[in-house]
Amino acid sequence: MGLRPVLLRRRMAGITSTSLALVLGVASVGLLPAAATTASPTTGSATAADVHADEVCEDGSDALARARGGEAKHDPNELTMAQLQQRESEFADLLQERAKRVGQRTLSAQAAAASVTIPVVVHVIQRDSTRAGGNIPDSMINSQISVLNQAFSGATGGASTAFAFQLQSINRVTNSAWYPIRQGTTAERQMKTQLRQGTKATLNIYLGALSNDLLGWATFPQTTLNVMDGVVVLSESLPGGTATNYNQGDTGTHEVGHWLNLYHTFQGGCSGQGDQVADTPAEASFASGCPTGRDTCPAPGLDPITNFMDYSYDSCMYQFTPGQATRMINAWNTYRA
């Protein structure tokens, strides 16, 4: 579908293009080298043993990761059927318990009227004080918060959700042991253990160079607060960054969608319940670029390439659906409120 007029106005207003950093895999699954897609700072040379984006974290929580470009033989961010069923069974039980307590009508009314402002704490992980060493300016972070607010309000052309985001603080940390940030490692756990702030309702965003050409990853909500909870995003994917095709802030949008309990639009392919949202058409696999008219499943509807939860370029993405908005507020009230 290309660039929507509303989105174009947003970018002309000075917010540079943001493409989401979807997980396509680790170094061993055929990713394009960073040089082919971006001029971002060095992201390290971790081996596949350093990052296992398809594994469940050592604490038992699921983690999603995304990478730039390339065709993956296996998408490590797509949950297995067993993982999906376990998460959805728990979610359904919790929703049912809450409906019994307050009544289904009250539950629906609360969801429809919900307005949630999420406090955001941003941790900038740096190797040194240079831009190449991760020291991005505050202006990029402020622009990222603006991108989140526009995306989740529906200002870019999608459904309005219940969520707004308010930056609480920027925490800058110079630590070469945490730079680049490596998903699933002891160093990541140490970093988050020392830095994470707030409650389950506080969004902690960790910015820096990432290993294995990844753009970002996120944790799903859980019933109890886990120190790993939060979102990790390549700093150069923020508005004004150097991650070509992924530098308008929608990597952050995508990862926050996961943090609020959304799956990829291509979860489950053409069969089953897919991403558990009825108004996102089934999609056999992730989209790359902006393939207008793509239709990979026999079920009605073209592939949702403009949805923030696909893998399209930032310039292609502009929307959440009403069904996704409902799922997010139900998950918020269940896990994070």
Paired sense of beta strands 203-208 and 116-126, if any: parallel
If one compares 8 and 166, the residue with the highest pLDDT of the two is 166
Q: For the chain, which domains are there?
A: 116-262 (3.40.390.10), 264-319 (no CATH)
The reply to whether omega before 180 is within 30° of 0 (cis) is yes
- Find the catalytic residue in 78, 236, 255, 283: 255
Contact call for residues 218 and 147 (beta carbons, < 8 A): no
Please give the average per-residue pLDDT across 185-194, as a whole number.
97
Residues in the chain: 337
All residues at 6 or more sequence positions from 97 whose CB lies less than 8 Å from its CB, including other chains: none
Contact call for residues 206 and 232 (beta carbons, < 8 A): yes
The answer on pLDDT for 256 being more than 50 is: yes
Look at 3-17, 99-113, 229-243 and tell me which has the smallest mean pLDDT.
3-17
DSSP codes of every residue in 105-159: HHHHHHHHH--EEEEEEEEEEESSSSTTTT---HHHHHHHHHHHHHHHHTTTSS-
Query: 255 catalytic, yes or no?
Result: yes
CA-closest candidate to residue 151, choices 309, 2, 276: 309
The answer on pLDDT for 227 being more than 90 is: yes
Query: CA-CA distance, 148 to 153, in Å (whole number)?
Result: 8
Helices and strands, counts by H and E, the chain: 7, 6
Summarised one tens digit per residue, pLDDT across range 118-146 is 999 999 999 999 999 999 999 999 999 99
Summarised one tens digit per residue, pLDDT across range 292-332 is 999 999 999 999 999 999 999 999 999 999 999 999 999 99
